[in-house]
Amino acid sequence: MIELEDFFEDVIGKTLKGTGMADGVLSFLTNVDPETIAKLKDGEFDEAAVRAIAPALGLDADSLVELGKRAWQPEPVELDGLRQSNTVFDPDPDDMMTVNSYLVWDPQTREAALFDTGADAGPALEMVKELGLELKTLFITHSHIDHIIDREKVVAAHPEIRVLVNAKEPVAGAERFAVGDTFSIGTLRVTTRLTWGHSPAGTTYVVNGLARPVAIVGDALFAQSMGGGVISFKDALATNRSEIFTLEDQTVVCPGHGPMTSVGEEKAHNPFFPEFKS
């Protein structure tokens, strides 16, 4: 099982950075002293302090505590027509970073598409061979280097492949499309949704036609976290709400980092979205 991408301190740090709230302001609003806040940001878990600051940050306290205790993991996903590849981008043992790519195929026609390349497209390309698939398309969720670094290997292995990216976030050598455009993978239908904020025009691809709907979301959303508002924290939250959380609860969520999850599970466990908690 791939571990969760973020710790509780990452969620706190992303929120503070995204909102521009200073530690002193958070301390004033919550009566949690600055030294304790500093310790939380450094990863020293204190349940009482976490519960005190969560509402002021717009976070769900129970979910943030659950994350701090590492008390939850999403259910494993087994779905014919979907495989995840997880490869190492930064091997630093103190802060290792892995990145995902996803192979999606039509079980009837064997036509396939790859979503992002990950740090190393080799394992995904081996899957294509092992499963006897015809890889026709490479979809790019966003242009951050860890997600597209190995695209030349993909093109070299499949010279006729169609490489697609949102026109508002172009990548060299990729064909541009407008959000709202639709595509196909054999008999499967792929629709496109704008989930920007982490990047200028991050795209969520929703695949219908398998036993469950699938949403490949890039870094818009992680299991129990999100990529963070590098461009706009406000819009990262808003587009997740409007474009991902409006999908069916059973929709498989395929994030750029960490394990696969589902819309229903993120409604129940993601601290960034308290409005969905019962």
pLDDT digits (tens, 9 = 90+) for 199-239: 999 999 999 999 999 999 999 999 999 998 999 999 999 99
Do both 58 and 180 map to the same domain?
no
Domain total in the chain? 2
Q: How far apart are CA 47 and CA 112, in angstroms?
A: 46
Which two structure tokens, joined as six digits, stand for 176?
């541009």
pLDDT more than 70, % of the chain: 100
Span 37-42, average pLDDT: 98
Do both 30 and 128 map to the same domain?
no
Span 257-271, average pLDDT: 98
Span 142-167, average pLDDT: 97
pLDDT more than 90, % of the chain: 96
Whole-number pLDDT of residue 18: 97
Do both 198 and 174 map to the same domain?
yes
27 within domain boundaries: yes
Do both 133 and 249 map to the same domain?
yes
Q: Is residue 91 very low, low, confident or very high in pLDDT (cuts 50, 70, 90)?
A: confident
Do both 193 and 256 map to the same domain?
yes
104 within domain boundaries: yes
Whole-number pLDDT of residue 87: 97
The CATH number of residue 31's host domain is 1.10.260.40
Please provide the average confidence, as pLDDT, over all residues in the chain: 97
Dihedral angle over CA of 90, 94, 95, 97, nearest 10 = 40
Do both 54 and 94 map to the same domain?
no
274 phi and psi angles, rounded to 5 deg: -65, -25
Cβ atoms within 10 Å of 146's Cβ, excluding its own? 20
Structural domain span for residue 270: 82-276
pLDDT of 95 > 80? The answer is no
Cβ atoms within 10 Å of 124's Cβ, excluding its own? 28
Do both 114 and 187 map to the same domain?
yes
Q: How far apart are CA 31 and CA 16, in angstroms?
A: 16
Do both 221 and 185 map to the same domain?
yes
The CATH number of residue 87's host domain is 3.60.15.10
Do both 31 and 104 map to the same domain?
no
77 within domain boundaries: no
Whole-number pLDDT of residue 96: 80
Do both 31 and 159 map to the same domain?
no
Whole-number pLDDT of residue 93: 79
Do both 29 and 113 map to the same domain?
no
Q: How far apart are CA 86 and CA 21, in angstroms?
A: 34
Do both 33 and 127 map to the same domain?
no
